[in-house]
Structure 1
């Protein structure tokens, strides 16, 4: 079994979508992240430097969602995953980006894309 840190339900305003009004008006996106890394040293030492700071993880994801607009939430999720993997302690990451207000002319609860990356 591998150790992991999970962050769910991060809500961030962004301007992603293929339609002009999505980039102009924006909407709320929701991000879920799971990051796999060895937490043995953090558990043994109670030292924040031995783990991935989940506040910084949330800020990283929020900066990407709230930053440069992309057409696809696949691109948003992939960019978050790639940035998280820059930390050499991370062995894997899974990112789900939800777009609950996607412009679909039908009744639905959510649209989401999940990407996974491993080292």
Structure 2
């Protein structure tokens, strides 16, 4: 049976918390998409550099400065950066999942409708 609190309008705090969770979820989704694009770019560069001679010149953008290095020097840092991006993306996905579960609990508890 439904309780009397679900028959009346939900408390404003619950509605605000629900909206806040939805906004944060959208922001996280956008950030994840950005990081996935960065990761894909790192993978493309890694795949391009892999077959090259380790002593071949390679240029790397550091801040706004283009720095000359060798493939042997650049490749490990690209792999490390990609690994860090993978870990960050996984962490953000876990946080997103937690937020979505919390929002779903609030939605069900107060019978909120998503527009």
Q: Give yes or no for TM over 0.5.
A: no
Per the normalisation by structure 1, the TM-score is 0.26
Q: Pick the structure with more strand per residue.
A: 1
With CA pairs under 8 Å and 6+ residues apart, which has the higher RCO, 1 or 2?
2
Q: Pick the structure with more helix per residue.
A: 2
Per the normalisation by structure 2, the TM-score is 0.26
